[in-house]
Amino acid sequence: MKILFLDQSGKPGGAELCLIDIAKPIRDRCLVGLFADGDFRRLLEQEQIPVQVLTQQAIQVRKESGLTQGLASLGQLLPLIRNVVPIARNFDIIYANTQKALVVGAVASFLARRPLVYHLHDILSPEHFSTTNRRIAVTLANRAQLVIANSSASKQAFVAAGGREDIVEIVYNGFELNKYQIPQQESLVIRQELGLTDKFIIGHFSRLSPWKGQHILIAALAKVPEQACLILVGDALFGEQKYVQQLHTQVQELGLETRVKFLGFRHNIPQLMSACDLIAHTSTAAEPFGRVIVEAMLCGKPVVAAKAGGAMELVESGVNGFLTTPGNVEELAEVINLCIHQPEKTAMIAEHARYTASQRFDVAVINQQLARFLDKI
């Protein structure tokens, strides 16, 4: 089976990292078509996955865009569709990995007479998508032969928005387990490089965005012992630099300049996670999956996550991690204090998380599950 993957992004996000894991085992019979150039292309090439940038023109429509902006983007989409159709005829399946890819893939599927698969990495809710974009996504996805949802939360939101339940299958993200087995000495070196050898390090790994809730974590940090420090790994995307400045201002106003480090984008995520004592996930709106949560578990680190969306399918509070009410600073501070003052209990929870995550999210098992669904097409 030959698969043409389509993805709108030149930057590697959760959906793109998931695509790498899916495409890697079938690199000899697939092609990844991108709608933008960037680091994602380079990551695909490093894994020897065939990749082609299909357009040099940025598609301006975004998740929150309305009908007017959506119609204006048609002039950008039509030349792209013309490029995709002849390529698609050389493959058995068109696999749309993002929403813009779904729009192009759905039209190309019709013109090239190839079945369409849509990988749903989003919760189609008003918090994330405009009414117009939700309707477009559902209408086009309903024409697919298969919709892969990355969590029950994503599936439920899709069905609630009018999606066909009979074509949806849930497949969680897979992970290469060996990537998260970091030697202790390597972790100690990173702690030294950060200048936080004797500190309790809390890590937050996400782009800097209001709905990712970094401001909530900073507020909680001010309520816990001074030995606790925070590293923020990630930076702003999509014009959110104003929020970054707000975070810096918040840090200064709370007197936390020596306890918060902004590390920007980093590629050595497992290594940085292994140097932490606690990983925090603080999204204010429901996450469709929560990739960083599983990565923390596989690193053997305790994780505290916002109790919403896909996170609730990953974390059983007090058993393999902790859950707090989204946006609740006091609850978050309580968990941080517990982890500081009860290290033995926290270590047991983290070890249980490592074991359960390795059983549930092994990429080899996940890819076998996905292959069975694709074979039915």
Give the pLDDT confidence of 35-79 residue by residue, as tens digits.
999 999 999 999 999 999 999 776 654 554 443 454 445 567 889
Positions of the chain with pLDDT under 50: 61, 64-68, 70-72
Domains and CATH numbers, the chain: 3-174+362-376 (3.40.50.2000), 177-360 (3.40.50.2000)
- Which three-class secondary structure state does DSSP give residue 4? strand
Q: What is the dihedral of CA 206, 209, 211, 215, to 10 degrees?
A: 90
Distance from C-alpha of 47 to C-alpha of 89, rounded to nearest angstrom = 25
Q: Which residues of 44-55 are buried (b: 16+ CB within 10 A; e: fewer)?
A: beeeebebeebb
Decide if 256 contacts 248 (C-beta within 8 A).
Answer: no
Contacts of residues 310-319 at CB distance under 8 Å and 24 or more positions apart, as own/partner, are 310/123, 310/150, 310/151, 310/152, 310/153, 310/154, 310/286, 311/281, 311/283, 311/286, 311/287, 312/153, 313/151, 313/152, 313/153, 314/289, 314/290, 318/349, 319/349, 319/352
Q: What pLDDT score was predicted for residue 240?
A: 86
Structure-block tokens of residue 158: 């899709």
Q: Which residue has the tokens 């940038």?
A: 53
- pTM of the complete model: 0.91
Q: What angle do CA 219, 121, 55 make, to 5 degrees?
A: 110
pLDDT of residue 312: 97
User: What is the side-by-side strand order in the sheet with 146-149?
Assistant: 51-53, 30-34, 3-7, 93-96, 116-120, 146-149, 168-170
| % of the chain with per-residue pLDDT over 70 | 95
Query: Tokens 């980093």 belong to which residue?
Result: 266
* pLDDT (0 to 100) of residue 56: 77
Q: Residue 255 corresponds to which amino acid?
A: G
pLDDT at 307: 98
Which pLDDT score is estimated for 77?
85
Give the pLDDT of residue 277.
Answer: 98
